[in-house]
Structure 1
Amino acid sequence: MNFAARTVFGLALLAASPAFAAASAAATTVTTAPDPAHLKAVQDLLAAMQIEKVVNGVAARSRYANESQKQAVLAKIAKVAPAEMAQRLAPALSRVISADTASEMTRYYNTPYGKQVIYKKYNSGAQLIMPGATKTVPPEEKKERKRAAYVKASKELDEAEPVIEHEAFKLMQQISKEKQ
């Protein structure tokens, strides 16, 4: 009896799975197109993050046949406006960055401390930290880092970092293939 019940249950699952897969596929196609407000929020975040520096970094780390090819790609990237890069990357990144995260992190990156974070991310060299030394964080920044919205948004943005790098690489390839 137990074997018969398992067999019937298994056959029922097999019969229902194509219908379930079709229903879930239809649901995902409806939700894949982000609304304009979501796209704008992601574009604003990319602008605040200085996405052009991410694309430049990806291009600089990529392998090329020779140095002149690398310089040609970097020159093409330099001709593309940062706003255009944000606009071109926003649709793909809106799938992994929610509108709430984009809004919260844009707000954070536009604060004085957030601007310092971005500046240090792209413009600082190697830093030596003495053993036992702790980095001092201003009280207002400690308070900012404890906000629930910031904690959630920061975590989501950290998880999206590999996708951001991948999409920046794809954009770099598209730009390098374009005729100017």
Structure 2
Amino acid sequence: MKSVVNTALALSFVFAASASGASTAPAGQLAPARNPAHVKAVQDLLGAMQIEKLLRGVAARTRFPSEAQRQAMFARLDKMPPAEVYQRMAPPLADRISADTAAEMTRFYNTPYGKQLIHRKYNNSGGIIFPGAAAGVPPEEKKERKRAAYVQASKELAAAEPAIDHEAFVLLQAINKEKR
């Protein structure tokens, strides 16, 4: 009976690993190499999105055993250059975000309106929002947001948001384990 339970448990781990997207390459074969230009495009996107601020948000929502450990984590994040965050998060995200999407959304987030959206995302203005009030989008931006490339890229990026949050948490765990 014990061996049946152990076998079932082992199979559940195998199925869970394959369902979560783990690499199933045969032994002796490496995972496909990532294109450096693609990874660089994702790094540029993460920079335009100011993803280091997301990492601080994830740290703020994380439960730490003590307040001292929380403060130590924020001290490490303060010392970490944003470029390092982009370099560490980009390779796993390159599997989820295409180079075209990264380029298009980097272009968008570098526009004045895109920068405004990023600022609003990370900086709560605390203002009162009246029912029925709509955010003012400049007319040229409305036209720009109807472009097929933007529409496709924004859909792909929205689908990758859970992966971005997950990779931020994974990076936070790795930083926590590092001794500096």
Partner of 2:80: 80
| CA distance, structure 2, for counterparts of residue 72 and residue 169 of structure 1 | 16
- Give me the TM-score of the superposition, normalised by structure 1: 0.80
**Residue deviations 1:24-83 (CA, integer Å, cap 9, x gap):** 957xx7884221110110010011111110111111110011222111111111111110
| CA distance, structure 2, for counterparts of residue 33 and residue 126 of structure 1 | 45
| CA distance, structure 2, for counterparts of residue 76 and residue 130 of structure 1 | 40
Q: Which runs of 5+ in 1 are unaligned?
A: 1-23
Tell me the amino acid that sits aligned with residue 56 of structure 2. Answer: N
Q: Secondary structure at the match of 1:136?
A: coil
- Give me the TM-score of the superposition, normalised by structure 2: 0.80
| CA distance, structure 2, for counterparts of residue 168 and residue 123 of structure 1 | 19
Larger radius of gyration: 1
Partner of 1:19: none
Please give the residue correspondences for 1:109-148 in structure 2 after superposition, counting only pairs within 5 Å: 109-148=109-148
Determine if contact 1:42/1:102 at 8 Å carries over to the other structure. Answer: yes
**Residue deviations 1:109-141 (CA, integer Å, cap 9, x gap):** 111111111111001244432122222211011
Per the TM alignment, residue 169 of structure 1 is displaced from its structure 2 partner at its CA by: 0.4
CA RMSD of aligned residues (A): 1.8
| CA distance, structure 2, for counterparts of residue 153 and residue 30 of structure 1 | 29
Change (3 A) 1:125 1:88: same
Q: Secondary structure at the match of 1:146?
A: coil
**Residue deviations 1:139-165 (CA, integer Å, cap 9, x gap):** 011012111111111110010000000
- Size of the aligned set, in residue pairs, is 155
Q: Which runs of 5+ in 2 are unaligned?
A: 1-23
